[in-house]
A and B are shown apart, each in its own frame.
Chain A
Amino acid sequence: MENVTQEIGKELQDKFGDAIVSQSLIIDFPTFVVKKEKILDIMNFLYDFELYKFQFLTSLCGVHFPDNVKEEEYSVVYQLHDLVRNQRIRLKVFTSESQIQVPSVTSLFSTANWLERETFDFFGIQFTGHPNLVKILNMEDQPYFPMRKQYPLEDGTREDKDDSKFGR
């Protein structure tokens, strides 16, 4: 698996140069951190890549790193899968809170439509170019983005969970 990461990394490095920030092999996933502006071009490139044809977007999710440095506070993780040669890779994109825009990949994968809406619903990451970026799981007029770390999990209207009894 290690040489696969090198191969793909080298190909991407030649094509996109410094857009590929770093590459690594995590357990069984070659992982590449890329610049967010280039994500769509990289995915188009990987779509009909000569070594592996990554034509299946397995999953897309957002992550919030509150302690990271300002530019890397929010991240979007894409996982692609080449069904023919059964090879999976993971692409990571980081963005800051102030300009929280990430280019949308719905033009390439229709499955990204709702996944991006869910990521926007949870973290507030704006996907530029998305046909209908509206909250999908929560109510459309929910003022805040619930999955961000600073927001509580509990609903707060439960009386039976009296914190004083739990020493909180």
Chain B
Amino acid sequence: MSTEKDIIETNVNITKAPEGIEGAGFFATSLDQVVGLARKNSIWPLPFATSCCGIEFMATMASHYDLARFGSERLSFSPRQADLLMVMGTISKKLAPVVKQVYLQMAEPRWVLAMGACASSGGIFDTYSVLQGIDRIIPVDVYVSGCPPRPEQVIDGILRVQELVGKESLRRRNSPEYTELLASYGIE
């Protein structure tokens, strides 16, 4: 019978502490990494689910694939408390201003995940009414390919976002490059 210790060793991997100076009874590391560690394991996603990818996201949130294991248990449908805007499904030209408005009203620091081919590039719907990819209106951090992507792919996308969140420096959001990137989308 595997002892208590082995079970922990095999199944549960606890988040590794960031590098820092270790001493008797103290641990020192840079503020970026501590804040990054805290943010990355408690991302509150805003599920902007429109079509088929929305149903696949329901499968990712349900008990089988369970996105809650990665700290994203708490969905926030209002942009005020959301960190990550997950755009899932086809965005038509009628819906584009809505996506932009929701993105604008999110509190900094904010990230965007484009789930599925439709959100990333318009997918198979190259038609007069579909916006060919949301990166034409808002900056996107992670693209998840697939139509719809499997829940494992969505979780992989979330992990990629978590790496970005973990490594981000605290001054990035006020840096000139970031302001210039937003200006290129007409967001002041």
One digit per residue, 1 when the CB lies within 8 angstroms of any chain A CB and 0 when it does not, for chain B 112-141 equals 000000000110001111101000100000
**Is the C-beta of A146 less than 8 angstroms from some C-beta in chain B?**
yes
Chain-B contact segment, one of A59-67, A86-94, A95-103, A153-161 = A153-161
**Is the C-beta of A152 less than 8 angstroms from some C-beta in chain B?**
yes
Interface pair A155/B94, CB less than 8 Å apart: no
Bin the interface of chain B by size: 10 to 19
Report A-chain residues with C-beta under 8 Å of the C-beta of B126.
153-155, 158, 161
CA distance A167 to B132 in the complex (A): 23
Report B-chain residues with C-beta under 8 Å of the C-beta of A157.
132, 136
Interface pair B94/A138, CB less than 8 Å apart: yes
Report B-chain residues with C-beta under 8 Å of the C-beta of A160.
121
Given A139-B93, A139-B94, A155 contacting B130 (CB threshold 8 A): yes
Smallest CB separation, A142 vs chain B (Å): 9
**Is the C-beta of A151 less than 8 angstroms from some C-beta in chain B?**
yes
Interface pair A146/B132, CB less than 8 Å apart: no
CA distance A146 to B94 in the complex (A): 15
Given A155-B122, A158-B122, A160-B121, A138 contacting B129 (CB threshold 8 A): yes
CA distance A154 to B129 in the complex (A): 9
Interface pair A151/B128, CB less than 8 Å apart: yes
Using a CB–CB cutoff of 8 Å, the interface residues on chain B facing chain A are 93-94, 121-122, 126-130, 132, 136
One digit per residue, 1 when the CB lies within 8 angstroms of any chain B CB and 0 when it does not, for chain A 111-155 equals 000000000000000000000000001110000001000011111
Smallest CB separation, B125 vs chain A (Å): 9
CB-based nearest B residue for A137 = B129
Report A-chain residues with C-beta under 8 Å of the C-beta of B130.
155
CA distance A158 to B94 in the complex (A): 18
Report A-chain residues with C-beta under 8 Å of the C-beta of B129.
137-138, 146
Report B-chain residues with C-beta under 8 Å of the C-beta of A138.
94, 129
Smallest CB separation, B161 vs chain A (Å): 25
Smallest CB separation, A86 vs chain B (Å): 34
Most buried by A among B93, B94, B122, B132: B132
CA distance A154 to B124 in the complex (A): 11
CB-based nearest A residue for B93 = A139
Interface pair A153/B128, CB less than 8 Å apart: yes
Smallest CB separation, B96 vs chain A (Å): 10
CA distance A151 to B128 in the complex (A): 9
CA distance A160 to B129 in the complex (A): 18
Smallest CB separation, B11 vs chain A (Å): 43
Interface pair B132/A158, CB less than 8 Å apart: yes
Interface pair A155/B128, CB less than 8 Å apart: yes
**Can you list 24 A-B pairs with a CB-CB distance of less than 8 A?**
A137-B129, A138-B94, A138-B129, A139-B93, A139-B94, A146-B128, A146-B129, A151-B128, A152-B128, A153-B126, A153-B127, A153-B128, A154-B126, A155-B122, A155-B126, A155-B127, A155-B128, A155-B132, A157-B132, A157-B136, A158-B126, A158-B132, A160-B121, A161-B126
Report A-chain residues with C-beta under 8 Å of the C-beta of B128.
146, 151-155
Report B-chain residues with C-beta under 8 Å of the C-beta of A146.
128-129
CA distance A54 to B146 in the complex (A): 46
CB-based nearest B residue for A146 = B128
